[in-house]
Amino acid sequence: MLNQLHETCRKLLEDGTVQVVIGYGQSSPDTPAYPIFVTRPEDVQQLVWNNQCFGNLTTYLTRKEVRAMGKPAIVVKGCDEKTLVVLEKESQIDRSQIVVIGMACSAVGNPPLAKCQACEVHMPRFADATIGQVENPASETDGRYADLEAFLQKTPADRMAYWMNELDRCVKCYACRQVCPLCYCETCIVDKNRPQRIDTSPTLKGNYAWHITRAFHLAARCVGCDECTRACPAGIDLRLLNLSVAKAAETDFGFRAGMDPEVEPVVGSYSEQDKEGFIR
Question: Which residues, 6+ apart, have CB-to-CB distance to 226 below 8 Å?
Answer: 113, 114, 115, 239, 242
Could you report how far apart the first and last alpha carbons of the chain are, in Å? 58
Q: What is the dihedral of CA 109, 112, 115, 120, to 10 degrees?
A: 110
Question: Shortest Cβ distance from residue 280 to another protein (Å)?
Answer: 5
* Closer residue to another protein (CB): 7 or 161: 161
* Closer residue to another protein (CB): 138 or 189: 189
* Closer residue to another protein (CB): 37 or 49: 37
* Closer residue to another protein (CB): 118 or 234: 234
Question: Shortest Cβ distance from residue 98 to another protein (Å)?
Answer: 17
Question: Shortest Cβ distance from residue 50 to another protein (Å)?
Answer: 14
Question: Shortest Cβ distance from residue 115 to another protein (Å)?
Answer: 16
* Closer residue to another protein (CB): 49 or 163: 163
How many other CB atoms are there within 10 angstroms of residue 206's CB atom? 18
Question: Shortest Cβ distance from residue 123 to another protein (Å)?
Answer: 26
Question: Shortest Cβ distance from residue 155 to another protein (Å)?
Answer: 8
* Closer residue to another protein (CB): 3 or 31: 31
**Do 265 and 217 form a contact (C-beta atoms < 8 A)?**
no
* Closer residue to another protein (CB): 136 or 187: 187
The type of residue at 135 is E
Q: How would DSSP label each residue in 14-81?
A: HTTS-SEEEEEE-SSTTS--EEEEE-SGGGGGG---STT----GGGGTT-HHHHTT-SEEEEE-HHHH
Question: Shortest Cβ distance from residue 12 to another protein (Å)?
Answer: 19
Q: What angle do CA 64, 79, 269 make, to 5 degrees?
A: 75
**What backbone phi and psi angles, to 5 degrees, belong to 45?**
-60, -25
d(CA 177, CA 227): 9
